[in-house]
Amino acid sequence: MIGPLELATSAFGQGNSVTPIQLVTAASAAVNGGNLMQPYILDSIGYGDISEIVFKNEPIVKANVISTQTSDLVKYALENVVAKGTGRNAFIDGYRVGGKTGTAQKVGDNGAYMDGNYILSFIGIAPMNDPELVVYLAIDNPKNTIQYGGVVAAPLVKEVLQEALPLLGIEKQSNQIDREVRFWIDTPFYDVLNYIGMKRNDVKRSPYFGVDIIGEGDTVIAQIPIADERILEGGTIVLYTN
């Protein structure tokens, strides 16, 4: 039974107990326009070389739980969490990532909350304007670290998203909510110029990132990262000459 106290504490996460699949299902509904989907583990079963599909799960909408307008507001809020809030460690330049941190105090055998014992988690979703991928990671009672989901779990979710999004054919976008840089802690980004066709002696060095020139030629014919990408301070731009 949920009374006034439970309603108040559950609003900030105390007292809730859900499985990872339940959490991912709820988060998906919050950003897909409000449709609560029937979750499943197995996508399909193939025969032989999998050219013959003998069984395939299909998406099933169980209910519409929130309006499209509310879902849009949730997506905007979650993207801001990653760009400007506690989920900054999941920010990926060029990908519209949204997410939410979790710092859950564990309950002991006596029913009371334990001191210094947490489950730290982060759920990341991308791209926020057309969500296709949800990644949820929880770490039970990590040791020797700050006890915040945004510090411990968010960077790991970022690593998964960085690898998975290109594999799914999801391209980068230029209309993401840009990261709000805290100069005392965050590493800023810098725009990458177009060096193609530039003469070796005309390449200007930067105090914020390195520039390595490879080859004995006098003209730049290729570069990594490419023009109009962004590079973190302290990174290196590699130029190839011919």
Question: Tens digits of per-residue pLDDT, 130-166?
Answer: 999 999 999 999 888 888 899 999 999 999 999 999 9
Residue 211: beta bridge partners? 237
What is the C-alpha separation between 91 and 79, in angstroms, rounded? 9
Location of structure tokens 């399909």: 44
In 76-142, which ranges are E strands?
A: 98-107, 113-126, 133-140
Number of structural domains (the chain) is 2
User: b/e per residue, 81-117, with b = 16+ CB within 10 A?
Assistant: bbbbbbbbbbbbeebbbbbbbbbbeeeeeeeeeeeee
Contact between 87 and 150 (Cβ < 8 Å): yes
pLDDT score at 145:
81
pLDDT score at 50:
67
Model confidence, pTM: 0.75
What is the 8-class DSSP label of residue 12? Answer: T
- Is residue 47 one of the residues assigned to a domain? no
- Is residue 179 one of the residues assigned to a domain? no
pLDDT score at 233:
86
**Number of Cβ atoms within 10 Å of the Cβ of 150:** 24
> Of the residues 120, 135, 167, which one is the last residue of a structural domain?
167
What contacts 24+ positions apart, CB below 8 Å, involve 199-208? 200/241, 203/239, 208/233, 208/234
CATH number of the domain within which 138 lies: 3.40.710.10
Are 96 and 212 within one domain?
no
pLDDT score at 26:
95
CATH number of the domain within which 212 lies: 3.30.10
- Is residue 174 one of the residues assigned to a domain? no
Contact between 173 and 129 (Cβ < 8 Å): yes
pLDDT score at 47:
81
Residue-number span of the structural domain to which 208 is assigned: 189-241
pLDDT score at 161:
97
Closest CA to 129 of 180, 78, 169, 91: 78
Q: What angle do CA 157, 59, 17 make, to 5 degrees?
A: 50
**Tens-place pLDDT, residues 24-46:** 999 999 999 999 999 999 998 88
Q: Walk along the chain (242 residues) in steps of 10 and give the mean pLDDT of each run.
A: 81 81 96 96 83 89 96 97 93 94 87 86 96 96 86 94 94 88 74 93 90 94 90 91 92
> Of the residues 136, 167, 198, which one is the last residue of a structural domain?
167
